[in-house]
Amino acid sequence: MAPVIDTYPHVSRTYANMSPPPTSSTAFAALTLGRSANAIELSVPPAPAAHAASDLKARSFDFLADLLVPHAALYSSAELFAAFAGHFPTSAYNATLEAGHICDALCSAFFHVDHLTALGFCSHDGTPMSKEITVDTSNRPAGISYFAFRSTVHPVAIDPRLSSIPSHLFEFWLELPQTLLPRSPSSAPSDAATARKELDFATPQSKLSVSTSAAPSDATFVVTATDILAMSKDEKSSLASRVSTDTMPDYTADCFSLFSAKQIQNLVLRTATAAAATATDAAPPLPALSPKMQAVLATSRTSQSSYFRPLDVLDSQVAFDAVFPNKIPLLVTSSTSGVSVDSSVLLLDLLSFVD
């Protein structure tokens, strides 16, 4: 039987000499930081060759940077830079910059309109909006707080060297800009003929005069105080009544002192209604919805604030960036205890994939 010392030669020698076990010459390399008496040696992985893959060189560069951070206060920038330059080939830093650009492009790709599938508008608690949403902001429901998306990105489309990395998909919410609910316009008669009319309230035309100085361009009749004084009692009572169609522009200024308070009230209310109808008729036509937004609104039907901007967030990247300048993916969940808005889980998931 062989002696025990021959069976475990390495253990006995290591224990006796108190020296570290032998290591492979390629596992770590010595890096000198600083000069003369202040110099220290750090064990770091060997620098990749100049022709190595960019991601390997970038990871090695980052490892050394993280290792030197605790020593940055004790050494000058020249000494720190000398440590990098003495360990890495010059192409390693360029590889780090290139990898950073690829990561930025990959992260931005998740918020590009070409990679987004719209899931629709959501309320403040993350539930889809049940009310119809159209381009007409006057009928836009209140409480539109988020827009939900599904984003799918294929890394190989960003850079051909990422062909081994699978595609990534995640759903998220983006917060919509909020404004106050605009006042709805006053209800007005749908008959456009009421906006352009001639006097016709049971007053004989023979007793009306045309005022050339105050008449509108379409030469409608304008009643003066002289005309009213020449009318009978019944004719006067038919003016500015609830059932008549006259408005304030139908009279000259000296007529209003001959009307009762009730007649003045009728004229004021009817004039305001006619003005609202004219403004509605003169409004420009509403813009047409894009096919993308039509598909979203076809599948998705509180506070007084809501989203009242144009519905063109999916039409171009410029419009998307204008509505969502700060692209922080949110996870909105509702429960019996309230609404939870998490801004870190999805962002960490995205950054982890990019890293």
> How do residues 18-41 score in pLDDT, each as one tens digit?
444 444 446 788 888 887 777 888
Instruction: State the pLDDT at residue 309.
Output: 87
**Does residue 41 share a domain with residue 24?**
yes
Lowest mean pLDDT among 44-48, 193-197, 290-294: 193-197
**Does residue 142 share a domain with residue 214?**
no
Q: What is the pLDDT of residues 193-215, one digit of tens each?
A: 433 333 444 444 433 433 333 43
**Does residue 135 share a domain with residue 68?**
no
Query: What is the distance of C-alpha 147 from the center of its chain?
Result: 8
Lowest mean pLDDT among 59-68, 181-190, 314-323: 181-190
Lowest mean pLDDT among 32-41, 175-184, 260-269: 175-184
Confidence of residue 303 (pLDDT cuts 50, 70, 90): low
Q: Is residue 314 part of a domain?
A: no
**Does residue 97 share a domain with residue 127?**
no
Q: Is residue 319 part of a domain?
A: no
Encode 278-317: b = buried (16+ Cβ within 10 Å), e = exposed. eeeeeeeeeeebeebbeebbeebeeeebbbbeebbbbbee
Q: Is residue 123 part of a domain?
A: yes
What's the domain range around 124?
110-183+325-354
Q: Please check whether residue 200 is in contact with residue 245, taking contact to mean a CB–CB distance below 8 angstroms.
A: yes
Query: Which of residues 86, 104, 122 is at a domain's end?
Result: 104
Q: Which two tokens stand for residue 279?
A: 């403004």
Q: Is residue 320 part of a domain?
A: no
**Does residue 251 share a domain with residue 266?**
yes
- CA 30/CA 273 separation, integer angstroms: 88
3-state secondary structure of 48: coil
Query: Which of residues 80, 104, 128 is at a domain's end?
Result: 104
How many domains is the chain partitioned into structurally?
3
Query: Which of residues 62, 77, 104 is at a domain's end?
Result: 104
Burial of 142 (0-12, 13-18, 19+ CB in 10 A): middle
Amino acid sitting at position 40: I
Beta bridge partners of 335: 338
Instruction: State the pLDDT at residue 112.
Output: 92
**Does residue 238 share a domain with residue 152?**
no
- CA 324/CA 307 separation, integer angstroms: 12
**Does residue 142 share a domain with residue 211?**
no
Q: Please check whether residue 260 is in contact with residue 80, taking contact to mean a CB–CB distance below 8 angstroms.
A: no
Q: Is residue 309 part of a domain?
A: no
**Does residue 164 share a domain with residue 227?**
no
3-state secondary structure 241-261: CCCCCCCHHHECHHHHHHCCH
Residue reference for tokens 């009242």: 308
Q: Please check whether residue 209 is in contact with residue 228, taking contact to mean a CB–CB distance below 8 angstroms.
A: no
pLDDT higher than threshold 60 for residue 300: no
Of residues 61 and 314, more confidence is placed in 314
Q: What is the pLDDT of residues 79-127, one digit of tens each?
A: 887 787 777 766 556 767 788 888 889 999 999 999 998 888 988 888 8
273-295: average pLDDT: 72
**Does residue 240 share a domain with residue 148?**
no
Instruction: State the pLDDT at residue 142.
Output: 85
Q: Please check whether residue 324 is in contact with residue 313, taking contact to mean a CB–CB distance below 8 angstroms.
A: yes
325-332 contacts, C-beta under 8 A, 24 or more apart: 327/111, 327/174, 328/174, 328/175, 329/170, 329/172, 329/173, 329/174, 330/146, 330/172, 330/173, 330/174, 330/175, 331/172, 331/173, 332/122, 332/125, 332/126, 332/146, 332/173
Confidence of residue 299 (pLDDT cuts 50, 70, 90): low
Q: Is residue 318 part of a domain?
A: no
Q: Is residue 214 part of a domain?
A: yes
Confidence of residue 182 (pLDDT cuts 50, 70, 90): low
The chain-wide mean pLDDT, for the chain, equals 75
**Does residue 216 share a domain with residue 137?**
no
Instruction: State the pLDDT at residue 89.
Output: 64
338-342 contacts, C-beta under 8 A, 24 or more apart: 339/124, 339/125, 339/126
pLDDT higher than threshold 50 for residue 8: no
Q: Please check whether residue 334 is in contact with residue 125, taking contact to mean a CB–CB distance below 8 angstroms.
A: yes
Instruction: State the pLDDT at residue 255.
Output: 86
Confidence of residue 281 (pLDDT cuts 50, 70, 90): low
**Does residue 129 share a domain with residue 61?**
no
pLDDT higher than threshold 80 for residue 325: yes
209-237: average pLDDT: 66
What global pTM score does this model have? 0.47
Q: Is residue 290 part of a domain?
A: no
Q: What are phi and psi of 340, to 5 degrees?
A: -115, 125
pLDDT higher than threshold 70 for residue 44: yes
**Does residue 82 share a domain with residue 122?**
no
